[in-house]
Structure 1
Amino acid sequence: MSEKNRDGKRSARERLAQEREKQRAKDRRRRGLIVGGAVVGVLALAAVIGVIAANSGGEKNTASGPVTAPQGAVGKDSLAIPVGKDGAKSTLTVWEDFRCPACKAFEDGYRTTIHQLTASGKLKVEYHLATLIDKNLRGSGSLRAANAAACAQDAGKFTPYHDVLYENQPPETNDAYADNTKLIALAGKVSGLVTPGFRTCVNDGSHDSWVKKSNDAFQAGGFQGTPTVLLNGKNVYANQSNPLTPAKLKQMVEAAGTQ
């Protein structure tokens, strides 16, 4: 074989080897892209799962803990704290928030009348506790005060402590009731309320989940705000064209008692 032919065959072999090497390089790059894409996909999926898990965990945390109703609570899911005699002909349903200034105005204006009607056996009141101000203005004073009031119910002291909380209500933007120490100090105004059991109940948030469930019920009820006041199921406090007064409330309750 001539030298020229040998050189030609060698060149052909070299070109073929080069082409094969190029093809192998392309294959390696393609495999790398496929693997890299798979890794990115796995990481992205893991991130999504992580977000879902985190969100799910957050939802669980907000409703964590057993729902422990205060002693004597009544109604659906035991979400109402009753005041008055069971045999009363009329029932006043009151949805309130201890940080709500309008609730304080209602209590200040109607407290004496309501006490007189419940004491006479003509009216029973069912209090439902909400935490709207905590959500609207941020904070936890509505929740903490409601839990403390539920603890007072356990001790048979709900009504006087309920009144003390409204009589000493801080400004709406001042989340003073977020401090359990403040709530326990105010409980000192109610004879016999401050006991080790009451302190533990307040500090441990024993009824927090119950308060949250009560607030959920308020939201589900479609009510417009606090206070919401219903007499025998009829909203008697929202009619601005014919506003309720303590005298009208007394008249309606007494009229119902004669039926």
Structure 2
Amino acid sequence: MAAAAAVVAGVLVVTDDDKGSRGGSSDDVVQGPPGAPGSGGSDGSGEPDRSGGSQGPGNLVTPAHSSGPGGTTVVIGEAGAKHTLDVYEDLRCPPCASFDQAVGPTIAKDIKAGTYKVSFHFAAILDKNMGGSGSANALSALGAALDVSPDTFLDYKAALMSSKNHPEESEDSYADDDQLLTVSQEVYALKTNASFREALREGTYDPWAKKMIADFDASGVSGTPTVKLDGSQLTGSGGSTPATAAEFTDAVDKQLKG
């Protein structure tokens, strides 16, 4: 069935009568960062496979600091935090960028304070419904940043979503590796990081990005940005996703007190 994307009340919404179908499986995936013993990304020499050939589920490379089946669980924060914030975004989505710009610093502060840990989920709604590959390509690059450190992941994500760098909805600039590398120069840990650059250029985390996107498609969440605290969706004025730091903090406080 045909699919369509629309921005409604600051939320990118996907309508897809066939979104339940997905190719591939998360079975037979080997966990571990690139080059780790037994990693699906190793060619047997202990080095990551950079051949650039087609990668199936059996040789999936998962970033360090990811976990779960297929390495698609990305949780950042104190392990002992009693609460979990789930954040659903599309890296190419303008409403998601606006949300990140307004609320991202508050989420980063709450992570450090131990208010909650954050589980990140990523879609490719715009790739699927407008054409292009910027959502998936940026997610692959973000996986390379996660492999460096959780803080690097957060910093690079913020840079990708910033008003300075984020493209308009009609543009697919994140499909260009050169643009992703240019943005990475704003992140101290990535400025001279050869491993990050190689992983981005070689598409090391492309299969991982596809699995992340498949997990989003199976999640039942149809719009981005969406935020849930302990499984309950957070809303601001008008019942939409909180659009400001004040709305977000108020929604979190109400949920925690309730």
Q: Same fold (TM over 0.5)?
A: yes
Secondary structure (helix, strand or coil) at the match of 1:68 reads coil
Partner of residue 205, structure 2: 207
| Structure 1 outlier segments of 4+, above 6 Å | 59-63, 255-259
Shift of residue 192, structure 1, vs aligned partner: 2.5
Among residues 201, 222, 233, which one is paired with 1:224 in the alignment? 222
- Which letter does structure 1 place at the counterpart of 2:132? G
Q: Does 1:92 align with 2:85?
A: yes
Shift of residue 83, structure 1, vs aligned partner: 2.1
Query: What pairs up with 1:1-259 in 2 under 5 angstroms?
Result: 64=56, 66-156=59-149, 157-167=152-162, 168-194=165-191, 195-237=193-235, 240-241=238-239, 244=242, 246-251=245-250, 253=252
Q: 1:242 to 1:216 in 2, by over 3 A?
A: closer
- Which letter does structure 1 place at the counterpart of 2:215? A
> 1-side partners of 2:140 and 2:203: how far apart?
6
Q: Which moved more, 1:63-72 or 1:143-152?
A: 63-72
Q: Which moved more, 1:155-164 or 1:206-215?
A: 206-215
> 2-side partners of 1:140 and 1:256: how far apart?
36
> 2-side partners of 1:63 and 1:79: how far apart?
17
Secondary structure (helix, strand or coil) at the match of 1:72 reads coil
Secondary structure (helix, strand or coil) at the match of 1:82 reads strand
> 1-side partners of 2:197 and 2:64: how far apart?
16
Partner of residue 25, structure 1: none
Q: Which moved more, 1:69-78 or 1:165-174?
A: 69-78
User: Any stretches of 5+ residues in structure 2 without a counterpart?
Assistant: 1-22, 25-52
User: Any stretches of 5+ residues in structure 1 without a counterpart?
Assistant: 1-58
Shift of residue 63, structure 1, vs aligned partner: 7.5
> 1-side partners of 2:223 and 2:257: how far apart?
32
Deviations 1:9-58 (A, max 9, x none): xxxxxxxxxxxxxxxxxxxxxxxxxxxxxxxxxxxxxxxxxxxxxxxxxx
Q: CA RMSD in A?
A: 2.6
TM-score by length of 2: 0.70
> 2-side partners of 1:133 and 1:72: how far apart?
27
Q: 1:221 to 1:192 in 2, by over 3 A?
A: closer
> 2-side partners of 1:231 and 1:153: how far apart?
23
Paired residues, number: 201
Shift of residue 249, structure 1, vs aligned partner: 3.6
State the identity %. Answer: 33
Residues 234, 251 of structure 2: 8 Å contact kept: no
> 1-side partners of 2:129 and 2:109: how far apart?
34
* Bigger Rg, which one: 1
